């Protein structure tokens, strides 16, 4: 079954600006990809649990103890003010 | 090709002070420059840092303090694995000037064993490709050293190309690579060298620039099985900084490449041969038949869900990639501008500027697959198909020590051939590499012979955590394929 994708809407959610030519091309390509992915529907997955990790894993957590960075986390940030990274404004969208 | 001195042997001689590591590294760097000008296989060559480290190691050898399995061995590193103080780009314009303040655990371990990082290798942007033609904006596409009109394979294309080129020049070297869905096997196969992809979690992912967190695996490429095994042996092991790293003991591997003469129970999965170039099939079957003649048992096996591995893999991979790439938003590292716009506009524009076509395509596809109303149909279904594939492999390994199949279904294609493929046609060529990668089982690609002057590869797959068995079977195949 053909899957229609509103690429413009998805791209806005993904925070990637596309021009009109890119949006048209990606629509065509992504629909082609999804058409090929429809065959996953042939697999009987009734009662099967999803594998989020390919092996059984036990969550191992470190002790929750504050420790200094052993490297400078600001080393690659260009816009820093008083040891804080300056980002774009979040109000007024 | 007789090949260079094995890395282990070179390391022992270097530790005894029998070779000048500085001279060896200088020669390696010269060859890297020559190779790069011909093949575009490096994003960065570490000239002075490598020479400086070589001089320090020479000093240790003179003082009798030399130690390490890789003592003085030149190592190239895929450019999505962080190296402290050395530019690490993941092949993307969005972080083309990123200089990590720390090294990945795998790199730290290799350096602790005496390895010397000589360069960062070319790759598909963030690992998004099987041919190494999807490099980021402003990056060069590497060429295959066996035929420059052909692709290297990807995404660790630079690792494959430099390993083959340095081997041809007789220089000991190994390359730290990374695979998500076949990015070690593909370039190893197309460049005629050996690649080993370990069990998911066998090598720490700390310091790796993630593509898909449940699929990414750091591994190795070498001129031969022993060199690739030695590098993996040095890099592997549990790491408190990566909670997905495996706690099981990680034992020696390189010595398993020297214990020839063993007999194995080998399964040949028939689904891996469907649609494969007959020249590739014939070479792989020919190698298997030689092992059978030497006493191994061979039987055909069916993994019926393996043919669904490509869509399941891509849905998981793009879903995870679309969240992992959210960090590239022009604030903490990489491409940044004065943040004057509102955040949505700023992020969208800087990502549009920094991402190449395939990165945009995968981020959009992954965002779609995780959206409300589609998550169950695509992402969760793919995760359930993965469970079935893992179970089918596990059943096969109850009967067989290893499965052997083609590494890639085709011989190395030309750039012209690849340029004519639609994205879904390119993805479909991952039919042999996605099953072991989605299952997280260890596997290797070994040259199985040449057809018309081009290399074909045999893929050895074993049960989770059986890297040693992978090395044993790969060595046996290597010996009969020479």
A20 lies within 8 A of chain B by CB: no
pLDDT-derived band of residue B55, with 50, 70 and 90 as boundaries?
very high
pLDDT tens digits, B231-280: 999 999 999 999 999 999 999 999 999 877 889 999 999 999 999 999 99
Please state the rounded mean pLDDT for residues B136-165.
98
Residues 6 or more apart whose CB falls under 8 angstroms from that of A63 comprise none
Task: Tell me which residue has tokens 């629509």.
Answer: A27
Task: Tell me which residue has tokens 């002790």.
Answer: A63
User: Smallest CA–CA separation between A5 and chain B, in Å?
Assistant: 8
What separation in angstroms does the CA of B334 have from each of A78, B88, B271, B331, B351? 9, 10, 43, 8, 11
Candidates A17, A37, A57; nearest CB to B352: A17
Contacts of B341 in chain A (CB under 8 A): 88-89
Please state the rounded mean pLDDT for residues B88-94.
98
Residues 6 or more apart whose CB falls under 8 angstroms from that of B93 comprise B136, B137, B138, B139, B335, B353, B354, B355, B356
Nearest residue in A to B425, CA atom: A33
Contact A88 B422 (CB under 8 A): no
The pair of structure tokens assigned to B193 is: 């060298």
Candidates A50, A73, A91; nearest CB to B384: A50
A21 lies within 8 A of chain B by CB: no
B415 lies within 8 A of chain A by CB: no
pLDDT of residue A61: 78
With a cut of 70, say whether residue B293 has pLDDT above it. yes
- Which of A1, A14, A60 is most worth mutating to test chain B (most B CB atoms within 10 A of its CB)? A14
What separation in angstroms does the CA of B245 have from each of B25, B31, B211, B242, B462? 32, 35, 16, 5, 19
pLDDT tens digits, B331-386: 999 999 998 899 899 999 999 999 999 999 999 999 999 998 899 999 999 999 99
Contact A48 B388 (CB under 8 A): yes
DSSP type of residue A49: P
A window 34-93, beta carbon within 8 A of B? 34-37, 39-43, 45, 48-55, 57-62, 70-73, 75-79, 85-93
pLDDT, chain A, mean: 90
Q: Is B78 a catalytic residue?
A: yes
Task: Tell me which residue has tokens 């593509």.
Answer: B211
The pair of structure tokens assigned to A3 is: 């899957």
3-state secondary structure of B9: helix
The predicted complex's ipTM stands at 0.94
Contact B352 A18 (CB under 8 A): yes
Q: Specify the CATH architecture of the domain B7-257.
A: Alpha-Beta Complex (3.90)
With a cut of 80, say whether residue A59 has pLDDT above it. no
Count CB atoms within 10 A of the CB of residue A24.
12
Residues 6 or more apart whose CB falls under 8 angstroms from that of A43 comprise B305, B308, B381, B384, B385, B388
Say how far apart CA B373 and CA A80 lie, in whole Å: 40
pLDDT, chain B, mean: 97
The pair of structure tokens assigned to B210 is: 């993630």
Please state the rounded mean pLDDT for residues A33-59.
93
pLDDT of residue B258: 87
Say how far apart CA A55 and CA B201 lie, in whole Å: 9
pLDDT of residue B81: 98
- Which of A15, A53, A80 is most worth mutating to test chain B (most B CB atoms within 10 A of its CB)? A15
- Which of A2, A3, A34, A43 is most worth mutating to test chain B (most B CB atoms within 10 A of its CB)? A43
Contacts of A36 in chain B (CB under 8 A): 311, 424, 427-428
Backbone angles phi, psi at B67, to 5 degrees: -155, 150
Candidates B314, B355, B367; nearest CB to A13: B367
B342 lies within 8 A of chain A by CB: yes
Burial of B192 (0-12, 13-18, 19+ CB in 10 A): buried
The fraction of chain B above a pLDDT of 90, given in percent, is 96
User: Smallest CA–CA separation between A84 and chain B, in Å?
Assistant: 10
B window 154-183, beta carbon within 8 A of A? none
pLDDT tens digits, B379-429: 999 999 999 999 999 999 999 999 999 999 999 999 999 999 999 999 999
With a cut of 50, say whether residue A27 has pLDDT above it. yes
pLDDT of residue B308: 98
Count CB atoms within 10 A of the CB of residue B293.
10
Of the residues B24, B76, B96, B183, only one is catalytic, namely B183
Say how far apart CA B443 and CA B198 lie, in whole Å: 6
The H-assigned helical ranges of B169-277 are 185-191, 225-235
With a cut of 70, say whether residue B197 has pLDDT above it. yes
Q: Is B183 a catalytic residue?
A: yes
Contacts of B83 in chain A (CB under 8 A): none
A22 lies within 8 A of chain B by CB: yes
Say how far apart CA B54 and CA B74 lie, in whole Å: 9
The fraction of chain A above a pLDDT of 70, given in percent, is 96
Nearest residue in B to A32, CA atom: B424
How far is it between the farthest Cα atoms of chain A?
Answer: 57
pLDDT of residue B1: 46
With a cut of 60, say whether residue A93 has pLDDT above it. no
pLDDT of residue A1: 52
pLDDT of residue A92: 62
Contacts of B322 in chain A (CB under 8 A): 14
What separation in angstroms does the CA of B441 have from each of B200, B306, B397, B424? 7, 13, 11, 25
Q: Is B37 a catalytic residue?
A: no
The pair of structure tokens assigned to B447 is: 């040259």
Q: Where are the domains of chain B?
A: 7-257
pLDDT-derived band of residue A60, with 50, 70 and 90 as boundaries?
confident
pLDDT of residue B323: 97
Count of A-B CB contacts under 8 Å: 185
């Amino acid at each position: 079954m053909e899957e229609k994708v509103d690429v413009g809407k998805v791209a806005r959610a993904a925070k990637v600006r596309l021009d009109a030519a890119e949006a048209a091309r990606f629509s065509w390509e992504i629909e082609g990809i999804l058409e090929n992915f429809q065959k996953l529907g042939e697999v009987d997955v009734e009662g099967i649990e999803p594998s989020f990790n390919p092996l059984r894993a036990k969550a191992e957590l470190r002790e929750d103890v504050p420790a200094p960075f052993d490297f400078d986390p600001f080393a690659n940030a260009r816009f820093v003010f008083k040891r804080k990274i300056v980002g774009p404004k979040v109000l007024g969208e | 090709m007789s090949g260079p001195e094995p890395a282990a042997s070179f390391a022992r001689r270097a530790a005894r002070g029998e070779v000048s590591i500085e001279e060896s590294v200088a020669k390696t760097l010269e060859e890297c420059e020559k190779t790069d000008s011909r093949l575009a296989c490096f994003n960065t060559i570490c000239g002075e840092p490598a020479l400086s480290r070589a001089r320090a190691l020479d000093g240790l050898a003179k003082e009798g303090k030399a130690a390490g399995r890789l003592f003085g061995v030149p190592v190239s590193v895929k450019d999505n694995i962080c190296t402290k103080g050395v530019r690490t780009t993941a092949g993307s314009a969005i972080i083309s000037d990123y200089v990590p303040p720390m090294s990945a655990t795998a790199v730290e371990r290799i350096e602790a064993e005496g390895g010397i990082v000589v360069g960062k290798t070319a790759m598909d942007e963030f690992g998004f490709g099987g041919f190494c033609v999807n490099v980021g904006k402003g990056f060069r596409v590497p060429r295959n050293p066996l035929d420059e009109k052909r692709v290297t394979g990807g995404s660790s294309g630079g690792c494959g190309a430099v390993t083959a080129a340095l081997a041809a020049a007789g220089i000991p070297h190994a390359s730290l690579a990374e695979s998500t869905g076949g990015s070690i096997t593909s370039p190893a196969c197309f460049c005629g060298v050996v690649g080993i992809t370990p069990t998911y979690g066998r090598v720490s992912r700390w310091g790796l620039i993630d593509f898909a967190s449940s699929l990414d695996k750091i591994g190795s490429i070498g001129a031969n099985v022993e060199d690739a095994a030695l590098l993996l042996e040095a890099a592997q092991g549990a790491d408190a900084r990566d909670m997905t790293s495996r706690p099981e003991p990680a034992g020696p591997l390189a010595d398993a490449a020297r214990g020839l003469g063993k007999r194995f129970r080998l399964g040949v999965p028939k689904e891996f041969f469907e649609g494969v170039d007959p020249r590739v099939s014939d070479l792989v079957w020919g190698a298997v038949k030689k092992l059978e003649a030497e006493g191994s048992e061979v039987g055909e096996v069916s993994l019926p869900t393996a043919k669904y591995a490509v869509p399941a893999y891509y849905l998981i991979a793009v879903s995870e990639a679309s969240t992992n790439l959210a960090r590239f938003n022009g604030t903490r590292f990489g491409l940044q501008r004065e943040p004057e716009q509102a955040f949505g506009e700023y992020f969208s524009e800087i990502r549009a500027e920094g991402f190449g076509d395939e990165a945009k395509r995968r981020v959009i596809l992954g965002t779609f697959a995780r959206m409300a109303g589609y998550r169950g149909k695509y992402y969760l279904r793919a995760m359930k198909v993965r469970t079935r594939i893992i179970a089918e492999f596990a059943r096969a390994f109850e009967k067989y020590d290893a499965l052997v199949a083609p590494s890639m279904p085709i011989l190395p294609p030309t750039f012209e051939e690849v340029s004519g493929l639609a994205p879904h046609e390119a993805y479909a060529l991952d039919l042999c590499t996605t099953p072991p990668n989605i299952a997280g089982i260890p596997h290797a690609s070994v040259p199985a012979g040449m057809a018309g002057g081009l290399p074909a590869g045999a893929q050895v797959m074993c049960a989770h955590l059986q890297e040693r068995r992978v090395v044993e079977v790969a060595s046996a195949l290597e010996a009969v394929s020479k």
